[in-house]
Amino acid sequence: MTESGATDSLQEKRKRGLHLSRQARENINGYLFVLPWILSLLIFTAYPMIASFFFAMTQYNILNPPKWVGLTNFVTMFTNDPLYWTSVSNTTYYVFLSVPLGLAFGLFLAMLLNQGLRGIGFYRTAFYLPGLVPAVAGTLLWMVLLDPKLGLVNEFLGLFGIERLGWLRSAIWSKPGLILMSLWGGTGGSMLIFLASLKEIPQSLIEAAMIDGANAWQRFWNVTIPMISTTIFFNLVMGLIGSFQVFASAYVASGSGNTAGPLNSMLMYMLHLYRNAFRYFNMGYASAMALVMFIVLVILTLVLIRSSRAWVFYEATTRQ
């Protein structure tokens, strides 16, 4: 009955000349369903990406129309803005310590938890809890913990005879302070990801290695690491992209002064960009900064993808 109903309506449509092929109907329905996303891609991704090339070549303070200045912004950035290079070196320092440390630390905790121990739930929650604290609240808390005179961290280090460090009030120790914050907040997340990835490793592989006489280190290096290398790779790339854009902790910890921390030691790339865009309204210059960061990230990602062929093990491709 329903069959005939469907054909009836089809015939009706045919009579009215509305007959469409199956593919045409799929096309219409399909594009209707994904229409919001196509609009989003055009308005919030494609347009801004193209426009950022234009803005980067202009002087623009929002109030007046953009003025074409060619490559001036880039020339200024590379030759005439010492703070730009400060922000580059601060960000590089931050990224190259916080990302590998976060991944290694997360993997270490995940391996400890992946031994079938009892009470995993408690530890998992303990490690992940800081990830729920918003960056602003977390930074305020660490400003208390890292107090140069009477902070808890210095008190703790004092137990080992380490003298009090200046942390966020010192040009040398402020970045390690920010890295400490990022490890506290971010390690739990990477631990959860690695834990899930470790659970996917077939037990038989590890047993086979054991029978072959592989010791714990060899099993880790030759079985575990290759089996989770896609996860490591993916989180490395996403971690780099994320922490190159670190902002909130540096913004809150450095306060509202003119320098971002002692000697601008917490002036991260994103913070310098933010100040140019929203404090001095140099939208053109900020756009140029964003573009350079984008290009650097694209190159870095491509290099990593290329290198991944050597060290990331794709199980599916070898199996075939």
Partner 1 sequence: MTTISKPQYTSVVRLHRRKVIRKTISLSISYLILTMMAAIFVIPFLWLVVTSLKPINQVFTDPPIWIPHPILWSNYKDALTTPAFPFLKLLRNTLFYVIMTTIGTVISSSIVAYGFSRLRFQGRDVLFAITLSTMMLPGIVTLIPTYVLFKVLGWVGTYAPLIVPTFFGAAFNIFLLRQFMITIPYDLTDAALVDGATHFDILWRIMLPLIKPALLVIGVMNIMYTWNDFFGPLIYLSSQEQYPLVMGLYAFQMRFSIQWNLMMAASLATCFPLIALFFVAQRYFIEGITLTGLKGV
Of 54-113, binders to partner 1 (CB under 8 A) are 55, 60, 62, 109, 112-113
Task: Pick one of 11, 40, 92, 215: the residue that binds partner 1 (CB under 8 A).
Answer: 40
On whether the CB atoms of residues 244 and 293 are closer than 8 A, the answer is yes
Helix/strand/coil percentages in the chain, nearest 5 = 75, 0, 25
Q: Which one of residues 84, 94, 173, 233 is an interface residue with partner 1 (CB under 8 A)? A: 233
Nearest to 237 by CA among 312, 300, 306, 307: 300
Q: How far is the CB of 136 from partner 1 (least distance, A)?
A: 5
Stretch of 32-40, 78-86, 171-179, 207-215 lying at the interface with partner 1 (CB under 8 A): 32-40
Q: How far apart are CA 241 and CA 293, in angstroms?
A: 10
- C-beta of 40 vs 215, nearer to partner 1: 40
How many other C-beta atoms can be found within 10 angstroms of the C-beta atom of residue 91? 23
Among 237, 259, 304, 313, binds partner 1 (CB under 8 A): 237
Point out which span in 73-81, 168-176, 260-268, 285-293 binds partner 1 (CB under 8 A): 285-293
Judged by CB, which is closer to partner 1: 60, or 84? 60
For the chain, the maximum distance between any two Cα atoms, rounded to a whole number of angstroms, is: 92
Beta bridge partners of residue 67, listed in sequence order: 59
What distances in angstroms separate CA 103 from CA 52, 96, 139, 202, 227, one per listed residue? 32, 11, 21, 22, 16
- Chain positions 160 to 179 lying near partner 1, rule: CB under 8 A, are none
Tokens of 67: 């003025």
* Least distance between partner 1 and beta carbon 103 (Å): 11
Among 83, 97, 101, 133, binds partner 1 (CB under 8 A): 133
Q: Does 238 bind partner 1 (CB under 8 A)?
A: yes
Shortest CB 209 distance to partner 1, Å:
17
DSSP assignment of 67-97: EE-TTHHHHIIIII-HHHHHHHHHHHHHHHH
The minimum distance between CB 145 and partner 1, in angstroms, equals 6
Task: Identify residues 12-31 at the interface with partner 1 (CB under 8 A).
Answer: 23, 26-27, 29-31
To partner 1, the closest distance from the beta carbon of 127 in angstroms equals 5
Q: How far is the CB of 289 from partner 1 (least distance, A)?
A: 8
Question: Per-residue x/- marks for partner 1, 190-229, CB under 8 A?
Answer: x-xx-xxx--x-----------------------------
Beta bridge partners of 58: 68
How many residues bind partner 1 (CB under 8 A)? The answer is: 104
User: Looking at 80, 115, 317, 320, which residue binds partner 1 (CB under 8 A)?
Assistant: 115
Q: CA 23, CA 304: separation in Å to the nearest integer?
A: 40
CB 213 within 8 A of CB 222: no
Map residues 136-155 to x or -, x wherever contact with partner 1 holds by CB under 8 A: xx--xxx-xx-x-xxxx--x
Measure the CA–CA gap between 289 and 296, rounded to whole angstroms: 11
Of 96, 258, 284, residue with least CA distance to 179: 96
> Which residues within the stretch 254-283 sit at the binding site for partner 1 (CB under 8 A)?
255-256, 270, 273-274, 277-278, 283
